[in-house]
A = this chain, B = another copy of it.
Amino acid sequence: MPQFKLAVLPGDGIGPEVIAEATKVLDAIAGKYGHTFDYTYAPVGAVAIDQTGEPLPEDTLALCKKSDALLFGAIGHPRFDNDPSAKVRPEQGLLKLRKELGLYANLRPVASYAELADLSPLRPERMKGVNMLIVRELTGGIYFGEKGRKDNGNTAYDTCTYSRHEIERIVKMGFVEARARRGKLTLVDKANVMESSRLWREVTRELAEENTDVDLNFMFVDNAAMQLILHPAQFDVIVTSNMFGDILSDASSVLAGSLGLLPSSSIGSTVGMFEPIHGSWPEGAGQDRANPVAAILSAAMLLDHLDLRDEAADVRRAVNEALAAGVGTEDLRPREQLGTAAFGDRIAKGV
């Protein structure tokens, strides 16, 4: 009987509620297939700052390192947002986790659900056939480059640095993902301005020679931001740097109509991290209103990563069936509105 050790980091805001539904669905899978998922819970983010003074306590990090995978809720609390000079902030926990676990690739799929076409801010004809994956570099670039102050604090700088090695491994992943999908890869950069982007293009061109079955194209980030709104269906896999990926993956995430639907994975080393993209939504916390689908589909990505493919497919099918049946949380404006827990029950029953 296969046994898996999962680190569960519910974090802040609605994190705990949606993660509870994800583990509910994993339990249903465990029952159906005879697996055992051992959950160990640990604090991260604002709750961890409150308990230990640190957004990512040593114990939490140690737990993650010895787990098979990591289920993550959300972090962030408004009391930190309006204080950019705060020395300790929840986000630091997330950034440190990515770096320490070597999670250099963030995968964000965005697809349109026919049943939910009305929710998209885009006109329905623009959303037809939207099915893309953003592969964002997650442990390099301007996020982790040298930064600081000069001139008595009156000048500030951040450095965007990329090495050939960092670019190679993420672009390779882009090619692999593209091959498993519709065979199209778009490198998004700003090679007409940035030297690091020129290195991305160089390396990508070299890798293209071993990946001639994938249709590769290049796009400047400003144009990509337009194309995502104008013709999102043109994209299959986008691969890009940390900062551009942050912006473009959030832009693309609103197309589907609700952030509450979208999962993500952050991978690289052996331990993968799986996380709904929606953030902590502090105003909604504790009210049984949050959509658990993003967390549940993150659990499906986790199953895929553990090579439990049938199990992952079951979860996705159960989600699709529930959405097709017209049930859902308020954000989906469903025919039959449910709370977080009841919606999770419904999906868990369907696996």
Contact = CB atoms under 8 A, between A and B. Distances in A.
B194 A147 contact: yes
Interface stretch (A61-69, A223-231, A264-272): A223-231
Contacts of A192: 81, 84, 89, 91
A191 B154 CA distance: 16
B123 A156 contact: no
Interface residues of A, number: 63
A190 B157 contact: no
Q: How many copies does the complex hold?
A: 2
A7 interface: no
A255 B243 contact: no
Interface stretch (A196-204, A295-303, A313-321): A196-204
Given A142-B194, A161-B157, A196-B158, A84 B255 contact: no
Interface string A80-121: 011011000101000100000000000000000000000001
A149 B203 CA distance: 14
12 contacts: A91-B192, A121-B229, A142-B160, A142-B194, A147-B196, A154-B199, A156-B161, A157-B161, A158-B159, A158-B196, A221-B247, A229-B254
Task: List 6 tightest A-B contacts by C-beta distance, closest first.
Answer: A156-B199, A222-B250, A225-B251, A147-B195, A156-B196, A84-B191
Interface of A: 81-82, 84-85, 89, 91, 95, 121-123, 126, 142-143, 145, 147-149, 151, 153-165, 190-199, 201-202, 218, 221-223, 225-226, 228-230, 243-244, 246-251, 253-255
